[in-house]
Structure 1
Amino acid sequence: MDFIDLHVHTNTSDGLLSPKEVVYWAHKKNLAAIAITDHDTVDGIDEALFYGEKYNVEVIPGIEINTDYKGSEVHILGYYIGYKATWFKDILKKISSARFDRAKKIIEKLDNLGLEITFDEVLEISGEASIGRPHIARVLVNKKLAYNNKEVFDKYIGINGPAYVPRYKITPCMAIEYILKSGGIPVLAHPGLIKDRAIIEELVENNLKGIEVFHTKHNQDMVKLFMDFAKKHDLIITGGSDCHGVFTDGISLLGSLNIDKKYLDILKTEFHI
């Protein structure tokens, strides 16, 4: 049986590995295909495609767009997106610019709490990546101002934290529209992490094409729940590890869910890819 992983991040967003390294590890793990789904950026796709050919790993151009629904984060995955379209890149640039502004405001709030870090220190961690809260967390951990990223989010920069700053808001329906316009397939990411399940029904009515049934944080009850939901609403079934590096808490996530390649084959057949 061939296995796939359709939810993978690189260091062009908040992952630890370069696109080349991600593809290399996919090859080492004998994965048949992976999808590069960085947050609000497509900067890692070309490099991943190049090394996908070299290592004989099918690479699917994708994205994970962070959106807001009634104050809660909802992530929309896009597969086989037309990532080179100028209009699409312009939208992502606007999101990226807002990320910079948000990071600066978070750093200012942290400073007021006595946690002194600089924007340059965060940029040094993020490099060319789409800047985000995980980069801020890493600086705090590196400076021994916190034990780990989880502590940073729980105590300071999570949604209920004193240094939290709301994101530039794109709605899930807007993300679906952008992905469809680019020629891609919009899929709801990790629905098990969404508190208000009413959003899922609403998105189905607004051209959502698939749902991420298999995810690292989905237990067996969730898998069954969303599998049944997908079948009821005729949605494509996908899955991925949401890998941000080779190891997380000592566990190798890339390809760890052993997702059958048949789900990718069905997606391709359904959308004539």
Structure 2
Amino acid sequence: MRVDLHLHTTASDGLLEPAALVSAVRAARLQVFSVTDHDTVDALAEVEAQARALGLRLIPGIELSAMWHRVEFHILGYFVDPADAALLAFLQDRREARGRRLQLMLNRLRTLGMAVEADEVLARAQDGNVGRPHVARVLVDRGFVASTDEAFERYLGDGKPAYVPRPDVTVAEAIRTIHDAGGLASLAHPGLHNRDDAIPDLMAAGLDAIEAYHVCHSAGVTAHYRRLAERRGLLLTGGSDFHGGTGGDHGPAPGMPCLPEAEFVRLEAAVPARRAAMRS
């Protein structure tokens, strides 16, 4: 069984519509996959319908941005209920915060001589959850930069002139939101942060797993997080972080890499106990 638990659509910063992503999943010969769009579950209903028609299994997922002290982490949620009222209220608040952040970024770009209208960026986001990748793509379209990588390196990356910190959601709040929606919480791509010192705090907040398998993790890094998970009693997750293109920190295709089947079986088996714990 081929499993990829980290994929994105145009509902957040992916380049493929939900139906096109499912086609790519099928072409990659995956049997189980999860769509983990940033701060939204808007694509899940369409993806579920498409997947079911093709005999594929979708694990409802999400990727929440959250802060630990001054460090931004991404917390993946799996087996969540996309209709959970508290989750939807949380996400609506996040969407509004993203809109306010967009205006602040555009104001900073304007002072740098790059006048970009919010409507241009929202069109790129297809009125979904807007973020820095959408701003970067508009900067490319307008000829202000040659690539999205350049947009981040010069203007949008942390500490750059147009960077605006994300409104704080703590990792504890993100993990609790995922648990309340019936899901398991996993730390995304820990090798990109190199902040293993945060893991005890995340575990105290209820972290269930870490993403050992990721396109940016070397074999050595993957082995390191497998050992760390075993020592600390954490489950493992993994996937391509496919966004529909190539380059950057994202996989070139679904299934690159996959999560081993045995680790997925362990992950799924942990869901009932987590849900029972949340009810107690």
Q: Please classify the TM superposition score into its range, dividing by the shorter chain length.
A: over 0.9
TM-score by length of 1: 0.96
- The question of whether the paired residues in 2 share the 8 Å contact of 1:246 and 1:254 is answered with no
* TM-score (norm: length of structure 2): 0.93
Q: Alignment identity in percent?
A: 34
2:143 aligned with 1:140: no
Letter in 1 for 2:130: I
User: Which residue does the alignment assign to 1:253?
Assistant: 253
Does residue 221 of structure 2 align to residue 208 of structure 1? no
Aligned to 1:74: 73
Instruction: Tell me the residue number matched to 1:10.
Output: 9
Question: Are the aligned partners of 2:28 and 2:253 in contact in 1 as well (CA < 8 Å)?
Answer: no
Structure 1 residues 91 and 117, CA, compared in 2 at 3 Å: closer, same or farther?
same
Counterpart amino acid of 2:140? V
Letter in 2 for 1:53: R
* Alpha-carbon separation, structure 2, partners of 1:58 and 1:33: 5
Structural mapping, 1:143-162, within 5 Å: 143-162=142-161
- Deviation at residue 222 of structure 1 after TM alignment: 1.0
- Give secondary structure in 2 for the equivalent of 1:21: helix
Corresponding residue pairs, total: 272
Q: Is the Cα contact below 8 Å between 2:81 and 2:181 reproduced in 1? A: yes
Q: Which residue of 1 aligns with 2:276?
A: none
- Provide the rounded CA distance (Å) in 1 between the counterparts of 2:271 and 2:80: 12
CA distance in 1 between counterparts of 2:261 and 2:148 reads 33
Name the structure 2 match of 1:270. Answer: 270
Change over 3 Å in CA distance of 1:269–1:196 after alignment to 2: closer
Q: What is the rounded CA distance, in whole Å, between the counterparts of 1:262 and 1:17 in structure 2?
A: 29
Aligned residue type for 1:69: W
Unmatched tracts of structure 1, length 5 or more: none
In structure 2, what residue type is equivalent to 1:125?
R
Alignment of 1:33-48 (within 5 A): 33-48=32-47
For residues 64-122 of structure 1, what are the alpha-carbon distances to aligned partners after superposition, in whole Å with 9 as ceiling and x for unaligned?
A: 00011222210100001122012211110001001001011101100100112111111
Corresponding residue SS for 1:252? coil
CA drift of 1:251 comes to 6.8
Mean CA deviation greater in 87-96 or 195-204: 195-204
Pair 1:180-2:179 in alignment: yes
Could you tell me which amino acid in structure 1 is paired with residue 25 of structure 2? A
* Aligned equivalents of 2:92, 2:149: Cα separation in 1: 28
Instruction: Label 1:246 to 1:206 Cα distance change in 2 as closer, same or farther (>3 A).
Output: same
Asked if structure 1 preserves the Cα contact closer than 8 Å seen for 2:241 and 2:251, the reply is no
| DSSP-derived class of the 2:65 partner | strand
2:230 counterpart residue number? 231
Give CA-to-partner distance per residue, 1:202-224, whole Å, 9 cap, x none: 11122111110000111122111
Aligned ranges 1:46-195 → 2 under 5 Å = 46-195=45-194
2:151 aligned counterpart, secondary structure? helix
User: Is the CA contact (8 Å cut-off) linking 2:213 and 2:258 kept in structure 1?
Assistant: no
Residue 258 (structure 1) shift: 3.6
Equivalents in 2 of 1:21, 1:248: separation in Å? Answer: 19
Matched to 2:209, the amino acid is G
Tell me, in whole angstroms, the C-alpha distance in 2 between the residues paired with 1:256 and 1:206. 30
1-structure distance, mates of 2:74, 2:145? 27
CA contact (8 A) 2:86 2:181 kept: no
- What secondary structure sits across from 2:64 in the alignment? strand
Give the letter aligned to residue 18 of structure 2.
Answer: P
- What is the rounded CA distance, in whole Å, between the counterparts of 2:247 and 2:124 in structure 1? 18
Query: How far did residue 246 of structure 1 move?
Result: 4.7
Q: Given that residues 185 and 209 in structure 1 are in contact (C-alpha distance below 8 angstroms), is that contact kept between their aligned partners in structure 2?
A: yes
Q: Alignment RMSD, CA only?
A: 1.6
Return 250-259 or 30-39, whichever deviates more: 250-259
The farther-off stretch of 122-131 and 193-202 is 193-202
